[in-house]
């Protein structure tokens, strides 16, 4: 099981975080308070109508997941992220994506999450090129972003 932080405040916090930087969020369960770490890997105004933010999240148990959080004026109905690490293509699909109109603002809030397998983590840690696609928009991750991902997936907490 992995935890998804899908609140409006999470989006606002991530939108202010610099690209390729590590941030933290806390969650509580019956065992106490736990810290989640997240690396912002893509934060860009893609098409009209809002800005998706893509992160990799690490839980204390070394569980990694990719998240896309979108907030904007139009429904996008995100459910899949495609990642191409060198020639290896990964399709990460959320079987239960979160879609909501934020009360009072009329903004659309969407959040999808998919757990990374050991094989996918291995491919990301060894790649030299990386592309990400959400719907019809494709973005190349620069070398500094690829290095930040490799460092984060290796267990480092800061860059």
**Residue-wise DSSP of 2-48:** ------HHHHHHHHHSPTT-EEEEEEEETTEEEEEEEEEEEE---ST
pLDDT at 159: 43
pLDDT at 152: 95
Domain assignment present for residue 2? The answer is no
pLDDT at 6: 47
Assigned token pair, 148? 């930040």
pLDDT at 136: 80
pTM of the model: 0.85
pLDDT range class, residue 132, cuts 50, 70, 90: very high
Domain assignment present for residue 1? The answer is no
Q: Dmax over Cα atoms in the chain, in whole Å?
A: 45
Hey, which bits of the chain come out as E strands?
Answer: 22-29, 32-43, 50-58, 64-72, 80-85, 88-93, 98-101, 108-115, 130-134, 137-140
Domain assignment present for residue 159? The answer is no
pLDDT range class, residue 118, cuts 50, 70, 90: very high
Domain count, the chain: 1
Domain assignment present for residue 3? The answer is no
Mean pLDDT, rounded, for 105-134: 92
- What's the domain range around 123? 8-153
Question: Tens of pLDDT along 63-110?
Answer: 899 999 988 888 889 999 999 999 999 999 998 988 888 777 778 889
Mean pLDDT, rounded, for 45-69: 80
**Residue 140's CATH number:** 2.60.40
**Per-residue pLDDT at 46 exceeds 60:** no
Domain assignment present for residue 147? The answer is yes
Domain assignment present for residue 69? The answer is yes
Domain assignment present for residue 140? The answer is yes
Domain assignment present for residue 29? The answer is yes
Distance, in Å, from the CA atom of 46 to the CA atom of 49, rounded to the nearest integer, reads 8
pLDDT at 150: 96
Share of the chain above pLDDT 70, in %: 87
């Amino acid at each position: 099981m992995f935890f998804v932080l899908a609140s409006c405040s999470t989006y606002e916090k991530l939108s202010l975080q610099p690209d390729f930087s590590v941030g933290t969020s806390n969650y509580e369960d019956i065992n106490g308070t736990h810290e989640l770490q997240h690396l912002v890997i893509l934060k860009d105004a893609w098409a009209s109508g809002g800005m998706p933010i893509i992160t990799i999240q690490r839980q204390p148990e070394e569980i990694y997941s990719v998240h896309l959080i979108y907030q904007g004026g139009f429904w996008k109905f995100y459910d899949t992220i495609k990642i191409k690490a060198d020639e290896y293509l990964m399709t990460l699909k959320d079987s239960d994506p979160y879609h909501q109109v934020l009360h009072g603002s009329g903004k659309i809030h969407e959040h999808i999450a998919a757990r990374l397998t050991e094989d996918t983590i291995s491919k990301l840690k060894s790649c030299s090129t990386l592309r990400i696609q959400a719907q019809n928009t494709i973005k190349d991750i620069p070398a500094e972003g690829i290095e930040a991902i490799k460092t984060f997936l290796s267990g480092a907490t800061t860059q």
